[in-house]
Amino acid sequence: MSGTAYHHGSVAVQERLGLRDAAAHIAPSIRPGIRPVAAAFLELQPMLVLGAAAPDGRVWASLLTGDPGFARATGPHTVSVAGGVRPGDPLAEALTEGTPVGTIALDPRTRRRMRLNGTVRPSARGVLIDAEQVFANCPKYLQKRELYGSGPAAPDGPPARRGEALAEDQLAAVRAADTFFVATTGPDGADASHRGGNPGFVRAEDPRTLEWRDYPGNAMFLTLGNLEADGRAGLLFLDWENGTTLQLSGRAQTVYRLEERFIRFRVDSVVETPAAGPLRWSAPEYSPANPTAP
């Protein structure tokens, strides 16, 4: 990580949008250590999203789940995650010593989320993450859901569907989504973030092209800054009702149109895993901050 909160990619976006001062004001909230309130929040969560680059260079976002406490702080700078990613996940071979990772712990029940970025190393329990950036985000665009139970996860099957473009049913799932996660990489390492909106906020133009509007946020522009510097990205869509995951890897760029900005994502690889996670969530209560979808 660099000695400042933002690398040159994020600074370039902040300056382009006239938000450099706003970003500097919020920069002290990005800390290297895990405060007690953050540790307590993390230990209550049954899921964690992790982003990283696989050995072939492709960037992915992956879902990790477990009983509360499966991810927990073991010190002011270290998080222990039991089990790691599931076998067959695109990042299954990526979490070796020193791999940069970004994580986000998101609780739909309370509309709270926390991001923790650093490097990973294997452990007897699963993996350890050495934290370098820890910070909370506001509840904007986060749909509220209740956790109503656990269903069967399928660690050894049914088999994942793999391809280089989205199938028709996958396109329909993307167009109906109200939430997804995005992983990026840049000069400071990896980052995992959340995007939310009313169904339709992600446009699927064709089987290999997605686009979404970048809604106003905290002015950090960590995701857009990474895209400015690198361009690789991974998306994760969840079926909240049955645990299916849809993971996409490709490249993205920011497109500026008048007073708005959009992200265009080009799909290179697709992995859909039925029942990848055991958590079963209720239908959403949409965030009052969500703009009307086009």
In the chain, domain spans: 8-281
Give the pLDDT score at 112: 97
CATH assignment, 8-281: 2.30.110.10
Give the pLDDT score at 5: 83
133-136 contact pairs (CB < 8 A, 24+):
133/1, 133/5, 133/30, 133/31, 133/32, 133/188, 133/189, 134/30, 134/31, 134/32, 134/33, 134/34, 134/35, 134/38, 135/29, 135/30, 135/31, 136/29, 136/38, 136/112
For all residues of the chain together, what is the average pLDDT?
A: 93
Q: What does the block give as tokens for 103?
A: 């994580």
What is the Cα–Cα distance from 184 to 249, expressed in whole angstroms? 10
Q: Could you report the per-residue pLDDT of 192-238, keeping only the tens digit for each?
A: 999 999 999 999 999 999 999 999 988 899 999 999 999 999 999 99
Q: Which of 39, 47, 89 is nearest to 70 (CA)?
A: 47
